[in-house]
Amino acid sequence: MSILLNKDSKIIVQGITGRDGSFHTGEMLRYGTKIVGGVTPGKLGRKEHGLPVFDTVSQAVAELKPDATCVFVPPRFAIDAVWESIESGIGLIVIITEGLPSRDLMEAKSYASGRGIVLIGPNCPGIITPEESKVGIMPGHIFKKGNVGVISRSGTLTYEVVHALTQAGMGQSTVIGIGGDPIIGSRFLDLLKLFKDDPDTHSVALIGEIGGSDEYIAAEYIKNEFGKPAVTFIAGKTAPEGKKMGHAGAIVAGKSDSAQAKIAALSEMGISVAELPQDIPELLEKCSL
């Protein structure tokens, strides 16, 4: 099994005719993702990678009945694209675009949640169920099918950890890059709950960073309710206070936001914290004994 995405999931791509949308549509198709069409306003009737292009999401939904959408729409128009997908009832919306206004995204997230729609991102690499389907920009060749779930705030560190897992013979059930913005659709806790109920996910690796309180909330859940081995890595040990480090949400605004504070808190709760990303496979192996 997997969470959110599998080989039968039907996907559309919003912004499919743009440079990034077209390129990554090709990469997703090569991986085996079941992309059924795309949306670019004013391009109705055009073909992209042999797939039909529609003017609106509602047209695509009526014709193709997709399970998920991947948003490559430029920042200026991306929030409208997200609202289109929410109002059309698509169950999984993966927002690759960065730079969405936080207030607008908060409103969209609240409305989507009330309708049971899952948002991933924005400013994220997407989601992949290895050897079945990927939605987003992750390099599929480093992933291997298996039983470790991965949730990460960092795209690059996702790849580093997954490569280490694969090299150690530890495949992944589903890997999700949740994005590094202050406001994101799905957080660690939301996805941990899905992994808890997935019988084929035997353990989980969380990749966190400075800023925010998500790691603390996730740690409480892991300690009290999760019931499966979980290890973490926290990036940003040398980050200076008050300076954003790559991600808009990665900023030390107070003592609890620092990597050191998070590492200490997680360790006190009995959750293993890796010193380096490549240490995660060894820690998972120890936790699973």
Each of the 289 residues of the chain gets a pLDDT tens digit; together they read: 689 999 999 999 999 999 999 999 999 999 999 999 999 999 999 999 999 999 999 999 999 999 999 999 999 999 999 999 999 999 999 999 998 999 999 999 999 999 999 999 999 999 999 999 999 999 999 999 999 999 999 889 999 999 999 999 999 999 999 998 889 999 999 999 999 999 999 999 999 988 778 999 999 999 999 999 999 999 877 555 555 545 444 445 455 667 888 898 899 999 999 999 999 999 999 887 6
Distance separating alpha carbons of residues 109 and 266, to the nearest angstrom: 28
Cβ-proximal residues to 30 (8 Å cutoff; 6+ apart), any chain: none
Residue 164 and residue 66 in one domain = no
Residue 182 and residue 255 in one domain = yes
pLDDT of residue 251: 45
Helices (H) and strands (E) in the chain, counts: 9, 14
133 inside domain: no
Residue 103 and residue 158 in one domain = no
Is 247 catalytic? The answer is: yes
| Tokens found for residue 269 | 């709760």
164 inside domain: yes
| Tokens found for residue 238 | 């040398």
Residue ending a domain, among 61, 92, 120, is: 120
The secondary element (H helix, E strand) that includes residue 87 is helix 75-87
Domain count, the chain: 2
Residue tagged active-site, from 24, 49, 202, 247: 247
Distance separating alpha carbons of residues 3 and 180, to the nearest angstrom: 21
pLDDT of residue 209: 86
What CATH number corresponds to the domain at position 63? Answer: 3.40.50.720
Residue 157 and residue 28 in one domain = no
pLDDT of residue 213: 85
Residue 162 and residue 52 in one domain = no
127 inside domain: no
154 inside domain: yes
String of DSSP letters for 45-61: T-EETTEEEESSHHHHH
Residue 147 and residue 116 in one domain = no
Q: How far is CA 261 from CA 209, 256, 264, in A?
A: 11, 5, 5
- Residue 244 sits in which domain range? 139-288
Residue ending a domain, among 92, 120, 148, is: 120
77 inside domain: yes
The secondary element (H helix, E strand) that includes residue 105 is helix 102-114
Residue 152 and residue 236 in one domain = yes
pTM for the model: 0.93
Q: Where are the beta strands (DSSP E) in 153-245?
A: 172-177, 203-209, 230-235
**Cβ burial 229-246 (10 Å sphere, 16+ → b, else e):** bbbbbbbbeebeeeeebe
The secondary element (H helix, E strand) that includes residue 150 is strand 145-152
Residue ending a domain, among 56, 88, 120, is: 120
Residue 92 and residue 165 in one domain = no
Residue 145 and residue 114 in one domain = no
Distance separating alpha carbons of residues 65 and 154, to the nearest angstrom: 31
**Phi and psi at residue 207, to the nearest 5°:** -115, 105
**Phi and psi at residue 119, to the nearest 5°:** -105, 135
Residue 191 and residue 252 in one domain = yes
33 inside domain: yes
Residue 154 and residue 271 in one domain = yes
1 inside domain: no
Residue 155 and residue 28 in one domain = no
